[in-house]
Amino acid sequence: MEYYITFPITFLIVYLAYKLFLGKKGNPNGPPCLPCLPIVGSLPFLYHFEKMFLCFMEKRNVYGDIFGLYSGERYTVVLNGYEAIREALLKKSRDFAGRPTYHPDSEVLNVKSAGIASKQYDEVFKRNQQIYMSILKQYGFGHRVIMEKHIHDEVVELIKELKSQNGNEVYPADLLEEKALNIIHGLLFGGKPQPDVKKFIIMTNRTVVESFKPILIAFPFVRHLPYFKKFKASLELVASDIINFFHNRIHDSLNKQDQNFVKDFVEKSGNDYDENELIFIIRDLLAAGSGTSSMTICWALIYLANNADIQDRVQKEIDSVVSGDRLPFLSDKPKLPYTEATMLELMRIRTIAPLTPHATICDTEVMGYKIPANSMVLVNLWSAHMDPKCWPEPEEFRPERFYNEETKEVVNGNMMISFSFGKRACPGEVLARQQVFLLFTALFQQFTVLPPAGVKNISTDMHVHGATVKTLPFKVRLVPRR
């Protein structure tokens, strides 16, 4: 009888001990690995589940720039630091161009893994990427500079609405999100969205962002826990509504006279046009093109309100280049190096999407470590921007990191990798960079931004929503300068 009790217990202890060191034995030529337990993998040895990028920063101090872990039984590699990320995503971009096979978006909202964010790296992805990138580049840098016009139209209205507040305290986040949405909507569909359309798109964007929970991507098995089962059920309620909404928007856009992304995409796709792919390309561009820009400007308002000397220097530089009452143009950018350095520092100190999921599509290696095919890879962009070896006192806001005082030039711009590298770089980068530049320069040309009365500094603490870093709710005073 005693045998039947002691044997299972002994077996369990041996099994646990074996699994605890599975990482080091399972991939002997791979990077050092976190301990591992049955079923749960390395989960018990992690924390900061909503801010997993911070946990990975701390584990980096123990295990190095590259380390492994187990999400259940699946081998996962974490990349930290600029050099490791650059080697993987730029020098070996194709090797790391896959996507993890599970996350809530692909299981519920996007079951065919179409579009951009969830799409596997295949011939359809490559063809569609070539089409939509060519359209966005044309809109951003072509002879019509379509993006700049759309952005300026919204900037004019934004300034008018903010001036009507007469320097009183405002909560700007919702207004900035609305203007960024108007811009991307005009490019994708043509025209401004009606209030009900705008409301639905904002809901969709937030649903998509929320679905990319790092904990669910890194450890898919936790979706069986009650909280995440409830979360999945909430996604299922809106999945068909989202599909139907974009189906109708596509057909409306095809019948419009003015140029828009939908018409250009269908025209360039020809007989190979796949509406389901286009639906999710549009959905992903909406989420990427509006959220990143508006939240970057929110961080700009906070950091420059807290740093009056930097704000004053930015304003003086803008005033010296942009004469009269005209708004800044993209052509002014080369003449505004300190302003550009300030924007780069903002994107460094608060990386909006700090942790991005990839998967290897073949056996490969990084910095001498072997990484097998079909490994999940979590790229910690935050670590590249907050590494004290590269950026002394990284929590300090210092535009001079990107500015050479002697030559009056922007430096280290290639070290800011908020939009990632390679074949899975953010598709909305062209639009986001132009939006941020034109919104940022116009706002600080037109307003002096101050904390609320009686407040010395606005909090720079962050809130993580899905996979994005957001500000806490805040108010500022925007005092007209002209």
Q: pLDDT tens digits for 114-127?
A: 899 889 999 999 99
Q: Which CATH number characterizes residue 372's domain?
A: 1.10.630.10
What pLDDT sits at residue 21?
Answer: 47
Comparing 189 with 205, the larger pLDDT belongs to 189
- How many Cα atoms sit within 13 Å of 120 on the Cβ side? 13
- DSSP label of 106: I
What pLDDT sits at residue 236?
Answer: 81
Q: How far is CA 462 from CA 80, 267, 351, 446, 470, in A?
A: 21, 42, 11, 27, 6
Q: How far apart are CA 130 and CA 138, in angstroms?
A: 12
Alpha helices in 122-274 (DSSP H): 123-141, 146-163, 173-189, 195-211, 214-218, 226-254, 261-269
Q: Which domain holds residue 247?
A: 2-480
Q: How far is CA 38 from CA 41, 56, 74, 80, in A?
A: 6, 21, 11, 26
Average pLDDT over residues 147-175: 94
pLDDT over 50 (residue 10): no
Compute and round to an integer the Cα radius of gyration of the chain.
Answer: 24
Query: What confidence tens digit (pLDDT) does each residue in 267-322 have?
Result: 999 877 899 999 999 998 988 777 889 999 999 999 999 999 999 999 999 999 99
Written as six digits, the tokens of 127 are 């063809």
Q: Beta partners for 476?
A: 170
pLDDT over 50 (residue 466): yes
Q: How far apart are CA 110 and CA 103, in angstroms?
A: 10
Residue 144 banded pLDDT, cuts 50, 70, 90: low
| Residue 331, helix vs strand vs coil | helix
Q: Are 382 and 352 in contact (CB under 8 A)?
A: no
Helix axes 337-349, 275-306, angle to 10 degrees: 110
Written as six digits, the tokens of 314 are 């930015």
How many domains are there within the chain? 1
**Amino acid in position 95:** D
pTM, to two decimals: 0.89
**Residue-wise DSSP of 43-112:** GGG---STTHHHHHHHHHHHH-SEEEEEETTEEEEEEESHHHHHIIIIITTTTT-B--S--HIIIII-TT
Q: How far apart are CA 282 and CA 336, in angstroms?
A: 33
Q: How far apart are CA 376 and CA 76, in angstroms?
A: 5
Helices first, then strands: H and E counts in the chain? 17, 13
| Residue 335, helix vs strand vs coil | helix
